[in-house]
Amino acid sequence: MSFFILDSPGGYELESKTLFNAMTIAPNTSEKRIINKLILNLKVSGDWDKIDVLWICAAFNQQAARLNWKNPITFTLTEVNSPKWTVLQGYTGNGTTDYINTNFNLATNGVNYILNSGSGGYYGRLSFEAADTTEFGVKTGLDGIAIVARYTADTFIGRVNSGTNNSGANTSTQGLFSVVRTASNNQETYRNAVLLVKTATLSTLVVSQPLYFIGFNNNGVTLFSNKQISMVYVGSGSINQLSLYNTIQAYMTAVGANV
């Protein structure tokens, strides 16, 4: 699906207008068109209704990067210890003290995200191997959701609503990474809509803690990351990974943040 589809016949989408009104610095016409096309493509593909929260951190200003673009009056990001933000790129962790709290509790705030149908992930821009860091996730005990895009020995590690990881070969931390659960016995991991590994790992529970990124909420203890993250989402396990990737990649290309 092409990103550069026609604008809505009536102008900007209602969801776009709501988002623009929540921005303290109004986007210019070109910026509005890029944002509107992102939202319109997500609606056309059917993914918009399946997403619970969407943060486009590669935004035109920092306040807009903190907003939940799905519903900008909810779940504004909290920057803990002043992580670095770069215009049209996103947040980069220092690997030691800073992270982002999404304020989104998977168990109590999830609508599309439920025990046996859930997905989440992020768009990363830097590629290097790193042990003992987690770019995205939350857990209680062993159970939770997590992504480590490139652990030692070029290994992707991910889980969703489970105490057991999927792991498989992966040599890059650039692009769209997702963990997906479509059934009680189906856990999948993706990079750029390409399936990396699929297992029959059983679901256990939906964690009742807020999700972090460029860090990991491990009962309040974080495993800090020095990756750069441009976008984060959470939603249904039925989100089409290919259409989601095409839409996000097209936005990143339009703003010059694509990898």
Distance CA 232, CA 5 (A): 24
CA 180 to chain centre: 12
Sequence-ordered list of residues with C-beta below 8 angstroms from that of 128, at least 6 positions apart, any chain: 150, 173
H helix runs in 26-140, sequence order: 29-45, 62-66, 106-109
Closest to 39 (Cα-Cα) out of 91, 3, 77: 3
Sequence-ordered list of residues with C-beta below 8 angstroms from that of 121, at least 6 positions apart, any chain: 136, 147, 176, 177, 178, 179, 190, 232, 233
Distance CA 134, CA 145 (A): 11
Give 199: exposed, middle or buried? Use CB within 10 Å, 0-12, 13-18, 19+. middle
Least confident of 40-54, 104-118, 127-141: 127-141
Give 184: exposed, middle or buried? Use CB within 10 Å, 0-12, 13-18, 19+. middle
pLDDT band at 121 (very low <50, low <70, confident <90, very high): very high
User: Which class is 14-255 in CATH?
Assistant: mainly beta
CA atoms within 13 A on the CB side of 171: 0
Segment 229-238 shows an average pLDDT of 98
91 in Cβ contact with 227 (< 8 Å): no
Residue 89: DSSP 8-state: T
**Per-domain boundaries in the chain:** 14-255
155 compared with 198, residue with greater pLDDT: 198
DSSP helix/strand/coil, 19: helix
pTM above 0.85, yes or no: yes
pLDDT band at 244 (very low <50, low <70, confident <90, very high): very high
Q: Determine what percent of the chain is predicted with pLDDT higher than 90.
A: 80
